[in-house]
A and B are shown apart, each in its own frame.
Chain A
Amino acid sequence: MLALLVLSICNLFALSATAQVAIQGGTVHTVSGDVIEGGTVLVSADGKIEAVGKSGAITVPGAYKKIDASGKIVTPGLFDAYTTIGLVEIWAVRASRHTSSGPGHFNASHLAAESLNRRSANLPIQREGGVTDVVIIPEGGVIQGQAAHISLAGEAVFAATITPSVAMVMRLGSRAASTLGTSRGGVLATLRQVYQDARFYQANKTKYNERRSRDLSAPAGDLDALSKTFERGLPVMFLVDQAGDIEAALAFAKAQDIAPVIVGGAEAWMVRDQLAAAKVPVITNPLYNLPSDFEELGSRADNAALLAQAGVPVILSTFESHNVRKLRQIAGNAVRAGLDYDSALRAITLEPATAMGAGATHGSLEKGKVANIVIWSGDPLEFSSRVEVMMIQGKEVSLENRQQALFERYKKLERRGPPAKKATSEEAAKDSKSKESERD
C-alpha cells in the first residue's frame, strides 16, 4: 500500500519538461550493485532511470542529451532521513520557526509536510552537498507527528513533497519523561495507554463520537492517525540514545506490532545484536562521540561501523536544518572511524530510502528508479570534490543559492573610500610596536 502511495505521488510530481539524458564515462556507484568504471546512465523522458551499465553495453539513442562524466563520480542523490530543513528559516526568529507539532503531547496527526516552506532560501543551499532527498521531522511532544519525504527539486519552488507521511516520530527516555513530568517508565506506561486507546478508538469510533464511550488519553484525531502504525505499517522513529531506552523501544514495538526505526542511537552499538536480529535500522551521526548526557555515556565515533559489522542497517544523518549539506562529511567521518566505504555511501542513499518506504523508487541507480543523480568532480565524501551536476527526477537543478549570491556581491570589494588607518600618529605606531615586543 505504501509503495503504491509513493509511486502515485511520484507520478504526480514527475516533471514533463525532462529531457532524455545519457550520462557517459563516469565511475558509477549504483549503490544497489557493483561500481561500474566507465558506465552509462540513461534517463528517460519521464525522469526515470532507463538503463545503467558499462558504456559498451548500452546503446545511446541519438536524441539523448549527452553529459560527459569521464573522470567523474556518479552517485544517487544523497538522502538525509532526519532533518528540519524548510521548517525553519532562522531558529532564533520565532515567527520563522515551524518545527513544533505542540503544544500537545500526542501529536500523531500532525504532518511536518504542512509546515514546509517550499520557497525557503535554505533549500537550494543544501543542494551544494549533493542532497536530493530529505525526510523532514516535526518536533514537540512525545508523539511528535508524521515525517515527510521531500525532494529538493524545482526552480519556482525549491522542494516537492514526495510522500507526506513516511514515519511516525516518537520520543522515549529522559526528554519525554520531562515533557510528561514523569520517569522513563512513566513514558512507556503512558504510551501503552495511548496505543490501547488508539485500538479502542478504531473499534469504537461511532460510540466515541456519539459520546457513549469512556474517555481517551489523547485527541481522537491523533489516536486515529496512530492506527497507520498498526501491523507494522507506517514505521515509527523512536528518538532514543541510551541502550536501555533502545531495548525498551524494541520491546514496545514488538508488543504493539509496529515497525521501529532507532534515531540517535548513541549507545546502539551496545545492543547491536538485538538490533540486527530484529532488522531494525539505526539513524545516527558519527560525529557525536561525547558523553553529552546520561543517555549518551556510551557515545563513540565508531558506533556506525560496529552496527554495520553486526548487520544492522545503518543510516547516517546530520540531524540538521541548515547544514544538511554536511551529510557527505559525516559519511566521510564514519569511514574514518572504520565504516567501510560502500556501507557509508549506502547509509546516505539506499538505506535511508529503504527505511523511509522509498526503497523501490529512490536511493540507488537502478533501472526504473527516479533519476535523482549527482555527478561529482571526485570522491563525494571528500572536501576537494564538488557537485558538478545534480539531477532530480531527471531534470538538472540549479546549484545557485543565496549564499552564492552574497559571495558574488562581495567577490570584488567596491571601494567605499580608503579604510581609516589603524595608527594615526607616530606615537601610536611606537606603542603598538612595543606591545608586540612584550608578547615576544
Chain B
Amino acid sequence: MTYRLLLVLALFTLLSCTDRNTKEDKKPTEAAIEVPDTWPVAKDRRSRDIAPTASEVDKVLLRGATIWTATGERIEGGDILLLDGKIASISKQPIEAPEGVEVIDVSGKYITPGLIDTHSHLGVYPTPNVEAHSDGNEATSPTTPDVYAEHSVWPQDPGFQRALAGGITALQILPGSANLIGGRSATLQLHPGISSAAMRFPGAPGGVKMACGENPKRVYGSRGGKPSTRMGNMAVWRQTFQKAAETRDAWDDYTRKLEKWSKDPNRKEDKKPKEPSLDLGQETLISILRGDLLVHVHCYRADEMIQVLQLADEFGFEIRSFHHAVEAYKIRDVLAEWDVSVSTWADWWGFKIEAHDAILQNAGLLDEAGARAIIHSDSAIDIQRLNQEAAKAYWAAKHAGVDVTEEDALRWITINAAWALGIDNVTGTLEEGKRADVVVWSANPLSVYASAELVWVEGVREFDASTDPTPWSDFEAGQLPVKVPIIPQDAKKGGKQ
C-alpha cells in the first residue's frame, strides 16, 4: 500500500510539472488528478478533472532581496532563481542569469515562501455570502464523513484572488464545525480554476475535519437530537469509529480470504469470498483509522483536546492539527510530545465561552515549548494579511518575554502550515528543488505596511501589484458603473513617511 501510494504520488507530481509547463496543452490534463488515499474501492472511482489547466511558468531571477527561507536562515541581499516551476537556486552570491531568464531587481525588498493557511472556508462560504452560497456545513447528521469540501467550493469566490494578493499560495478548505465529523477537506493552490478540482494542490494528502465542543452539541441538541452534551459528542465519535473499525476488520478479513481463495488452484466461483458492504462515509473513517488522512480537529479547550487525543489513541490514529485551540498553551508540553500541530489565531476571543481563555501569546508559548505553532485565518478578511496576524502573535509573545524569533513567526504561516497539510516536502520553505511558491514583499512582512508585490504559485506569476489585476471571479465583472480594483492602485504610496 505504501509503495503504491508513493508511486502514484511521484507519478502525479512529475506529470504536474511537465503538463503545466506546456502552454498550448489545453486538453484535460493528468496534472490536477490526485488519488488522495489508498482505499482500494473508491480509488478507481475518483473522477478526472476535465477542466483544462494550462499556465505559463516564469523563468525569473530575483536579485538583491532579504530572503527569509523559513528554514531558519535569513540571507541579506541574496538572489533566487525560479525555473520550471521550481526554485533552481538560492544564493548569497550573485547568480548568473541563464539565457532567456528575466531579471528583476528586488533589492530592499523581502522574499518569503508563499504563505499557507490551514483553515479557510473560501469557496464553501464565499462572498457574496448569500444563503444560497452557504455550503460549508452538511448539518443534517452529526457525522458526515462522506462529504468532500471540494464539492462545495465555488471557484469564483472573489476571496481566492484577494488571499493570493496577501501572499497566500496554498490553503486548506475545510467543512464547517457543525458536525463531529464534517467531511473531507480540500487542499488547494491559488491558480484560478474553472472547477475546484482544477485548484487541487497536486500530491497533497487527503484531510478530514472533525469538531468538538459547543458547535456539534448545540446544532444537534437544539433539534432534540444527539449529541446534546460533550459526553454525547464523545459517545457519537466512539460509536462511529467503533463501527468503522469493525468494517475495516471485515475488509481485512475479506482481503485475506480473497487472497487465499485466489491462490487456490481448485478455487470455485461459488466459494469466492463476498465483498463486505462499504459506503463513502466508511471509506473516509477507515482511511482515518489507517492513517491515510490527515485529521484536523476544531477544538478550543485544553481538556477537550486531551479527550480527542485519547479518542485517537483508543482507535489508533493521529491528530495532525488542532484548530482554533485557544487553550493549547495550557497543554503545550503534551502537544509537543505528541507532535500535534496547533492552528490558531493571534487575537480572536469573546464569541463563545470555549474561546474565553484565549491569550495573545498562544502561538509563541507553543513554539517555545517545541510544538508546531501555526497561525490560521478562518476568515476571508484575515487570510489577506496572515503575515500581520503572525506579526501580532509574535510581538505579543516577544514583548511578554517568550523566546521567539521573527524566523519562528514566519514558520507559523509557511512550513509549519505546510506540515499540517502534508505538503512540507514540496513547499513551505525556500529551498532548491522545492516548488516556486514565492512572495516578494515591499517591506519586512511582519510590518503592518508590508504588501505582497509579486506572488508566484508553482512558478506561475499569479499576482503582480504593479499591474491592475483583472478579477479572476466572473462575479466581479461588470457589476458596477465604475471599476472596482481588487487591490489599491496607489498601495505603494503607503508606509510611514
A residues in contact (CB < 8 Å) with B? 88-93, 122, 270, 287-294, 297-302, 305, 321-323, 325-326, 329, 332-333, 335-341, 379, 381-384, 386, 403-404, 406-407, 410-411, 413, 415, 419-422, 431-432, 434-435, 437-440
The answer to whether B487 has its CB under 8 Å from any CB of chain A is: yes
- Is B488 within 8 A of A301, CB to CB? yes
B 377-404 contacts with A by CB, 8 A? 380-381, 384-385, 388, 391-392, 394-395, 399-401
The answer to whether B330 has its CB under 8 Å from any CB of chain A is: yes
| Assembly CA distance A403 to B358 (angstroms) | 7
- Is B449 within 8 A of A336, CB to CB? yes
B 119-178 contacts with A by CB, 8 A? 127-130, 158-159, 162
| Assembly CA distance A410 to B369 (angstroms) | 12
Q: A91-B352, A336-B449, A407-B400 are in contact. Are A438 and B2 (CB under 8 A)?
A: yes
Q: A90-B351, A437-B6 are in contact. Are A336 and B358 (CB under 8 A)?
A: no
**Which residues on the B side are within 8 Å of A301 (C-beta)?**
487-488
The listed residue (B128, B351, B357) touching A294 by CB distance below 8 A is B128
- Is B291 within 8 A of A291, CB to CB? no
B residues in contact (CB < 8 Å) with A? 2, 5-6, 9, 127-130, 158-159, 162, 205, 214, 291, 313, 318, 329-334, 337-339, 347-353, 356-361, 365, 369, 380-381, 384-385, 388, 391-392, 394-395, 399-401, 422, 425, 446-451, 475-476, 479-480, 482, 484-485, 487-491, 493-497
**Which residues on the A side are within 8 Å of B495 (C-beta)?**
335-336
| Assembly CA distance A410 to B479 (angstroms) | 52
Distance from B388 Cβ to chain A, minimum over Cβ atoms (Å):
7
| Assembly CA distance A287 to B334 (angstroms) | 36
- Is A92 within 8 A of B214, CB to CB? yes
| Assembly CA distance A289 to B488 (angstroms) | 10
Q: A302-B490, A323-B347, A336-B491 are in contact. Are A410 and B338 (CB under 8 A)?
A: no
- Is B350 within 8 A of A122, CB to CB? yes
- Is B128 within 8 A of A381, CB to CB? no
The listed residue (B359, B422, B494) touching A406 by CB distance below 8 A is B359
Q: A290-B159, A292-B127, A383-B388 are in contact. Are A297 and B358 (CB under 8 A)?
A: no
Nearest-CB residue, chain B, relative to A296: B128
**Which residues on the B side are within 8 Å of A329 (C-beta)?**
388, 392, 448
Looking at chain B's contact residues, the main secondary structure is: loop
**Which residues on the A side are within 8 Å of B448 (C-beta)?**
329, 332-333, 335-336, 381-383
The listed residue (B159, B162, B490) touching A305 by CB distance below 8 A is B490
- Is A413 within 8 A of B333, CB to CB? yes
**Which residues on the B side are within 8 Å of A410 (C-beta)?**
329-330, 359, 365
- Is B350 within 8 A of A298, CB to CB? no
| Assembly CA distance A431 to B338 (angstroms) | 15
**Which residues on the B side are within 8 Å of A290 (C-beta)?**
127, 158-159, 162, 380-381
**Mind listing 15 A-B residue pairs with CB under 8 Å?**
A92-B353, A93-B353, A305-B490, A322-B349, A322-B351, A335-B449, A381-B496, A383-B447, A384-B391, A406-B357, A406-B359, A420-B334, A420-B337, A440-B6, A440-B425
Nearest-CB residue, chain A, relative to B1: A438
Looking at chain A's contact residues, the main secondary structure is: loop
- Is B359 within 8 A of A403, CB to CB? yes
The listed residue (B332, B400, B401) touching A413 by CB distance below 8 A is B332
- Is A336 within 8 A of B451, CB to CB? yes
- Is B291 within 8 A of A293, CB to CB? no
CB-based A-B contact count at 8 angstroms: 182
| Assembly CA distance A90 to B356 (angstroms) | 8
Distance from A272 Cβ to chain B, minimum over Cβ atoms (Å):
11
| Assembly CA distance A289 to B351 (angstroms) | 23
- Is A302 within 8 A of B392, CB to CB? no
- Is B493 within 8 A of A297, CB to CB? no
The listed residue (B318, B395, B494) touching A338 by CB distance below 8 A is B494
- Is B358 within 8 A of A439, CB to CB? no
- Is A302 within 8 A of B489, CB to CB? yes
Nearest-CB residue, chain B, relative to A422: B338
- Is A338 within 8 A of B333, CB to CB? no
Distance from B315 Cβ to chain A, minimum over Cβ atoms (Å):
13
- Is A382 within 8 A of B350, CB to CB? no
- Is A438 within 8 A of B333, CB to CB? no
Q: Report which residue of A288, A338, A379 has the largest number of chain B beta carbons within 10 angstroms of its beta carbon.
A: A338
Q: A290-B159, A336-B448 are in contact. Are A379 and B350 (CB under 8 A)?
A: no
Nearest-CB residue, chain B, relative to A288: B381
**Which residues on the A side are within 8 Å of B493 (C-beta)?**
338
- Is A332 within 8 A of B449, CB to CB? yes
- Is A291 within 8 A of B127, CB to CB? yes
- Is B494 within 8 A of A413, CB to CB? no
The listed residue (A289, A292, A305, A437) touching B384 by CB distance below 8 A is A289
Q: A386-B399, A403-B360 are in contact. Are A287 and B479 (CB under 8 A)?
A: no
| Assembly CA distance A404 to B493 (angstroms) | 37
- Is B358 within 8 A of A335, CB to CB? no
The listed residue (A93, A323, A326, A422) touching B337 by CB distance below 8 A is A422
Distance from A82 Cβ to chain B, minimum over Cβ atoms (Å):
17
Nearest-CB residue, chain A, relative to B448: A332
**Which residues on the B side are within 8 Å of A439 (C-beta)?**
205, 422, 425
Distance from A275 Cβ to chain B, minimum over Cβ atoms (Å):
15
**Which residues on the A side are within 8 Å of B5 (C-beta)?**
438
**Which residues on the B side are within 8 Å of A322 (C-beta)?**
349-351
Distance from B256 Cβ to chain A, minimum over Cβ atoms (Å):
19
**Which residues on the A side are within 8 Å of B356 (C-beta)?**
90
Nearest-CB residue, chain A, relative to B449: A336
| Assembly CA distance A122 to B358 (angstroms) | 12
Q: A92-B214, A321-B350 are in contact. Are A383 and B391 (CB under 8 A)?
A: yes
Q: A297-B479, A439-B205 are in contact. Are A419 and B333 (CB under 8 A)?
A: yes
Distance from B300 Cβ to chain A, minimum over Cβ atoms (Å):
12
**Which residues on the A side are within 8 Å of B395 (C-beta)?**
383-384, 386
Nearest-CB residue, chain B, relative to A421: B337
**Which residues on the B side are within 8 Å of A297 (C-beta)?**
128, 479-480, 484
- Is A383 within 8 A of B449, CB to CB? no
**Which residues on the A side are within 8 Å of B480 (C-beta)?**
270, 297-298
Q: A437-B2, A439-B205 are in contact. Are A300 and B497 (CB under 8 A)?
A: no
Report, nearest first, the 5 A-B pairs whose CB atoms are least far apart: A322-B350, A332-B448, A302-B488, A92-B352, A419-B334
Distance from A123 Cβ to chain B, minimum over Cβ atoms (Å):
12
- Is B128 within 8 A of A292, CB to CB? yes
| Assembly CA distance A305 to B360 (angstroms) | 30
| Assembly CA distance A434 to B2 (angstroms) | 8
Q: A294-B128, A298-B480 are in contact. Are A382 and B447 (CB under 8 A)?
A: yes
